[in-house]
């Protein structure tokens, strides 16, 4: 099986000494994995909602969601909220963020799921320190994807373990025509136990992530999206470990989506050793393969375009053992292909916090 270089650009906090932060993961066989899981994913719907964008949203019993096909969760009792209140951000940057419009998912215009159910996109039926939290307000765009076998994301990673067989949990937005049958940016989560060698999948394609929200659904599109030179939209992604239960909770600002249970992990049962923010392009036509893919990252513009042109992440935050929410001390920008995609942690004034910009068009004059 050939390799596909996937990790393109990262904003990295690394407390582990790594020889190469840009890990070359083996190609994920999403099609075969989807087919293998079809029977498990075909959960009966209590209610179905047709979204104006054509999606069919099935409201399924919260205890019949795919997470509970995982053998370690056979007797698991769902917790609807973390056992503690996670730290809030009171910085000037965070206060200014509240002026940006809040996104919803398109299907909300057409109905809602009953209490005791969760929304599930119907496409699933067809096809030196340690960290206990990370956040970022991720700007949402609708970038170009060249072919159905490619995809692009903007996201947060938390990792632990070795360079090759790391454990990772991830969340953000993704444009993935093959998986979602369109080119809209959609909410996604992903996790792996071995650096994607044998484990790793998106959303509910494999069991493990326990969804608790009846409002936000994995794999469902965000609206509206940012426009060049126009209004900017984004989502406040938050991943926090409950120190009492050691579950990793995902929230969109204060709306809890669900959690990765303690039982499915090994090294991530404790804490994360690496946090990353940024973009990711999956293609076989990268890293020296010509012609390079034209799949874009972020907005499709380079980081130097700044606000209104390039994709950005505001309020980059970590939570460490002190349970304090803070801007990380040790950060570095990184990109594997600077002629194709770029990164810039831009600080215009020493009194202001940096804004992280990233992205690019892929193939171009300097990226053949």
Q: Is the pLDDT of residue 136 over 90?
A: yes
Q: Supply the DSSP symbol for 253.
A: T
Q: What is the DSSP string of 186-228?
A: EEEEEEESSTTSS--EEGGGSS--EE--SS--BT-BEES---T
Which has more confidence, 279 or 123?
A: 279
Q: How far apart are CA 39 and CA 326, in angstroms?
A: 44
Q: How far apart are CA 211 and CA 261, in angstroms?
A: 11
Mean pLDDT of the chain: 84
Q: Pick the closest to residue 332 from 15, 98, 55 (CA basis).
A: 15
pLDDT band at 13 (very low <50, low <70, confident <90, very high): very low
For the stretch 139-153, pLDDT in tens is 999 999 999 999 999
Task: Answer yes or no: are the C-beta atoms of 132 and 271 closer than 8 Å.
Answer: yes
Q: What b-and-e string marks burial along 164-198, b requiring 16 or more CB atoms within 10 Å of the CB? A: ebbbbbbbbbbbbbebbeebbbbbbbbbbbbbbee
Task: Answer yes or no: are the C-beta atoms of 358 and 298 closer than 8 Å.
Answer: yes
What integer pLDDT is reported at residue 40 of this predicted model? 52
- 53-67, 228-242, 253-267, 311-325 — which is least confidently predicted? 53-67
For the stretch 186-207, pLDDT in tens is 999 999 999 999 998 899 998 9
What integer pLDDT is reported at residue 162 of this predicted model? 86
Structure tokens at 24: 């070359």
198's CB contacts (< 8 A; 6+ apart) are: none
Q: How far apart are CA 368 and CA 351, in angstroms?
A: 40
Q: What b-and-e string marks burial along 99-110, b requiring 16 or more CB atoms within 10 Å of the CB? A: ebeebebbbbee
Which has more confidence, 104 or 293?
A: 293
């Amino acid at each position: 099986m050939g390799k596909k270089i996937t990790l393109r650009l990262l904003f990295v906090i690394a407390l582990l000494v790594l020889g190469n932060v840009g890990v070359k993961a083996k190609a994920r066989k999403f099609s075969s994995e989807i087919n293998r899981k079809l029977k498990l994913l075909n959960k009966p719907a209590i209610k179905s909602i047709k979204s104006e964008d054509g999606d069919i949203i099935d409201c399924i019993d919260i205890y019949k969601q795919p997470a509970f096909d995982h053998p370690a969760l056979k007797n698991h009792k769902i917790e609807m909220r973390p056992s503690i209140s996670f730290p809030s951000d009171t910085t000037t940057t965070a206060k200014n963020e509240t002026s940006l419009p809040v996104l919803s998912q398109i299907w909300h215009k057409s109905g809602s799921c009953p209490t005791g159910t969760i929304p599930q996109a119907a496409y699933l039926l067809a096809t030196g320190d340690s960290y206990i939290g990370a956040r970022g307000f991720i700007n949402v765009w609708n970038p170009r994807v060249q072919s159905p076998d490619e995809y692009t994301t903007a996201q947060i990673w938390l990792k632990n373990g070795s360079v090759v067989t790391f454990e990772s949990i991830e969340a953000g937005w993704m444009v993935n025509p093959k998986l979602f049958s369109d080119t809209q940016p959609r909410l996604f989560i992903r996790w792996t136990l071995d650096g994607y060698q044998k484990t790793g999948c998106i959303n509910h394609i494999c069991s493990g992530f326990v969804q608790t929200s009846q409002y936000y659904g994995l794999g469902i599109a965000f609206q509206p999206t940012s426009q060049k030179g126009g209004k900017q939209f984004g989502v406040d992604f938050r991943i926090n470990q409950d120190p009492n239960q050691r579950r990793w909770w995902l929230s969109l600002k204060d709306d809890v989506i669900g959690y990765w249970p303690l039982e499915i992990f090994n090294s991530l049962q404790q804490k994360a050793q690496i946090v990353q923010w940024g973009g990711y392009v999956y293609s076989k036509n990268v890293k020296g393969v010509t012609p390079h893919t034209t799949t874009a990252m972020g907005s499709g513009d380079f980081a130097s375009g700044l606000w209104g042109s390039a994709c950005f992440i505001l309020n980059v935050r970590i939570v460490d053992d002190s349970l304090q929410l803070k801007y990380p001390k040790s950060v570095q920008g990184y990109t594997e292909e600077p002629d194709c995609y770029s990164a810039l942690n831009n600080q215009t004034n020493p009194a202001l916090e940096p804004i992280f910009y990233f992205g690019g068009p892929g193939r171009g004059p300097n990226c053949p």
